[in-house]
Structure 1
Amino acid sequence: MKAANFRKKFHSFQKDYFIKRLFRNLSLNLAMQIMNIKKAFLLGGTVVLLFSCGKDKFNSVPEIKFTSISPNVISNSSFPGQIDLTFQLKDAEGDFGVGGGQDSSFVYVKNITTSQELDSFKFPVLNGISRKNLDVEVTANILRDAKPSNIPAPYTDTLYFEIYVKDNAGHKSNVEQAGPLYYIRN
């Protein structure tokens, strides 16, 4: 009887142990699956946020990008009437060149090859274009700033300029280096 009772208890113990172990394994598997689902949602949410929060194309602070100088080779024997420095301008409000005495926007140019002081030009009046999300090409005549250094002839001087703009709200753009402009002294 004792052996039968022992078998019964042992069998009951095995069954309980097996059920507890099975339940624990199922619980762990379920917990792991829930964690994996949470991780997947978190990762998916992060990806959605990253792609939906793209950088605005336009900003309140103006942004410029140097495009060209034309002509880019000049000489003292054939000095042109105009030297055009061209750059791309982007601004969210477009508060440039309003005219009517309200304008306080400027284009600033400095010949960094010489000790020349910073020069500025009133921004041209922009008529007939949308100002919101302004994206325009601007050309400034920098003839008076294209002065070479004082090295005697013959020589070729390579001139570089720094340019930036300020809008009517006083926001200063990034500073761009423009050039080269080659000045040939015969």
Structure 2
Amino acid sequence: MRLDILNNGYRPGTKLLFAMIRLFSGHPVPDAAKVTFYRPDFYGASAKEFTHEAMRGPSAWTVGDRELMAAYVSKVNETAFCIAAHTATATRAYQDAPRVAAALADLESAPIEEPLRATLRMLGKLTREGTVSAQDMRDVLATGATPQQIQDALAVCTAFNITDRLADAFGFAQLSPKGFEAGAKYLLKRGYR
């Protein structure tokens, strides 16, 4: 159910900003951005900072890897908006649409490195079941992922489990393919702030 608050719950200055973005970009402001403007003091400012750090902060994972993690977590959650948004962003970051599509279609046969595959497998289990074991962590470490990479991946997982639930609760509207592509360009250029 789409909540009307995403259309009308803003101060005049924010409404003007949204109008300017639409005018200059040719695309409406995505609901994922709108929700951070609705209550910036309660959710938006902190969420943007946390997500930006998880997705663009220092990490041994590439930006493409972290965007693929976001798309994968969103796929497990069956959140259409976030799947499309982060598939587009991962594809653009890697410059390799078949790789992204393969990882989302069949993780076990996808042409990706073993540390990434094991990490995605672990993030999927955590997202589905809400828990992972010490053995799950040992399995990821055994593929060559470092403890810091696991921590970084868990931050991505946290950010997108929250975002996916907001997308579902607020009924984020789907964008056109060009809208998702424009969003991907923006996220790669400016990040999540």
TM-score by length of 2: 0.21
Higher-Rg member (1/2): 1
Structure scoring higher RCO (CA < 8 A, sep ≥ 6) equals: 2
Of Structure 1 and Structure 2, the greater helix share is in 2
TM-score, structure 1 as length reference: 0.22
Greater fraction of residues in strand: 1
